[in-house]
Chains A and B, each alone.
Chain A
Amino acid sequence: MALNIGADDLVENPTPRVPVALCLDTSGSMMGDKICELVKGVNLFYDAIDEDDDAHDAAEVSIVEFNSAVSLIQDFASIERLNRIDAIDATGGTALGEGVNLALDTLEKRKSTYSNAGVLYYQPWLVLMTDGKPNGRPDELERAVHRVTELVAQKKLTVFPIGIGADVDMNVLARFSPNRPPLRLQGLSFREFFEWLSKSVSRVSRSTPGDTVKLDLEGLAGWAEL
């Protein structure tokens, strides 16, 4: 008996997603070269994902900005739906806790969407970048630290706290990363960081059950100090 199996007899499952939440400081102190380099870095991140066969179908990126207020400037979307950023205004204070909480809320919603649609996903990533000291509501900061550390402890989130410049409060960033010290960007090496990030996303998107995706710590050289 001939085996007559057509395309309709097979299913096409969606690619498992790697959600990456970028939580970016856009306070007044970021004005000038820092914000320009950050925007270039994010766009380069998009380009690198676009060019990578594995990451292209898997990565979904969101962007939350925080200054005196917080806003979701890019909800989770695949690379085909992400618009390149022209510019971001840097102004006001550093409501870091509020920003992280919005990023986590957005992430939770996205995970629900995946689950309801039967889309598998990998452990989400939160990239937190700041150049200063939080001056938003203290209770929001504590809530954000608690939420992140709980998720990290449960192995439900990978967090990358990144300090920019000399004035960043690394002690606060360290509170978000119980397992690994926060990284301080060397100069304005946003480009190198986002290149590293896109490669790391690609490695995760290629992983299969049982794979332990180790961070490419050697790849940190040139853009970060531990």
Chain B
Amino acid sequence: MFNEFHHQVRGRGHELDGTRGQDRTQYLSRGGVQAICLADGAGSASHSEFGAQAVADEGCAALVEQFEQLVASVDGGQIKIELLERLLTKVNMLAERHGRDVHDFASTFLGVAVSGDKFLGAHVGDGVIGYLKDGDMRVISAPDNSEFANQTTFVTSHGAAGSMRLFRGSLQGVTGFILMSDGAGDSLFNARTRQLAAACEKLIVAVGAAPARLSQNSKHKKQWRKFIDVRVRNATKDDCSIGVFGRSVAS
């Protein structure tokens, strides 16, 4: 089993504007499968924080419920279509309930699930997913920023399935994973070298070394949240969110 930590914080830009944060995270553990997801709501989409929450929730449910099927499938293209359809169905329902266009709920999606000796994950849009394997911090999925800094692909974008990155593999030698929105990436991902900051490894190791059952207000989680709320948040004006899986080397 992996320990988990996920957290989102409203960026300084939204605080100044008086608008809500648009990053959302979620974690789900069921039937021996653990999933952690995050979504970054689109800046110009009026209800993107709701879309982001729906995508993070549904992403966790999909990865947990369909883990075996997704891991066993040989048709990656079909997996992308099915996974995206499931996320979009959820967002469409939300849009209908609010009586708004689905694009008002646009968000990115990043998710990782683990079970037994396997992992899988999916990524649409910007943000970064990395993992710590054999002591090396590596990027699994880098940001998809198109050409310009304020452009990326969202779950609701035309062609989202084509731009989805899907990955899976063995957990042998894997100590943990880290998922981050672009705001957190401002201080945790080097855009020039395309490498993750050393802080990512330290965070994964810390999460992995913590006691397995932690309350939300344990001193460990308080300390990790403080790191995101202060250090990571102060390095950007954007919202910041992060999801971490960690396990001790012995496990």
Contacts and interface: CB of A to CB of B under 8 A. Distances in A.
Given A122-B150, A210-B152, A5 B227 contact: yes
A211 interface: yes
| Majority SS at the chain A contact face | loop
Interface string B214-242: 00000010011001000110010110000
A123 B227 contact: no
A10 interface: yes
A117 interface: yes
Interface residues of A, number: 30
B89 interface: no
A171 interface: no
A156 B145 CA distance: 14
A215 B193 CA distance: 34
A11 B210 contact: no
Given A10-B235, A16-B149, A210 B48 contact: yes
Nearest to B224: A3
Nearest to B226: A3
Nearest to B239: A208
Contacts of A4: 202
A98 to B, nearest CB: 26
Nearest to A210: B42
B159 to A, nearest CB: 15
Nearest to B16: A206
A209 B151 contact: yes
Contacts of B182: 208-209
Nearest to B200: A9
Interface residues of B, number: 49
Interface stretch (B69-77, B94-102, B184-192): B184-192
B4 interface: no
Given A10-B235, A13-B186, A208-B43, A1 B210 contact: yes
A2 interface: yes
A121 interface: yes
A207 B182 CA distance: 13
Given A10-B197, A10-B199, A13-B190, A1 B206 contact: yes
A1 B186 CA distance: 25
Contact of A120 (B188, B191, B227, B237): B191
A12 interface: yes
B169 interface: no
A206 B237 contact: yes
Interface string B146-158: 0111111010000
B202 A11 contact: no
A122 B148 contact: yes
Interface in A86-142: 117-123
A3 B223 contact: yes
B150 A9 contact: no
Nearest to A154: B147
Contacts of B193: 118
A209 B145 contact: yes
A208 B13 contact: yes
A160 to B, nearest CB: 18
Interface of B: 13, 40-45, 48, 106, 108, 125-126, 145, 147-152, 154, 182-183, 186-194, 197-199, 202-203, 205-206, 209-210, 220, 223-224, 227, 231-232, 235, 237-238
Closest 7 CB pairs of A and B: A210-B42, A118-B192, A16-B149, A211-B43, A120-B149, A9-B199, A209-B152
Interface of A: 1-5, 8-14, 16, 117-123, 156, 204, 206-213
30 contacts: A1-B209, A2-B223, A3-B202, A3-B223, A3-B227, A4-B202, A5-B227, A9-B197, A10-B232, A13-B186, A13-B189, A13-B192, A16-B150, A118-B190, A118-B191, A120-B148, A121-B148, A122-B148, A122-B150, A123-B148, A123-B150, A156-B147, A208-B13, A209-B108, A209-B125, A209-B126, A209-B145, A210-B41, A210-B106, A210-B150
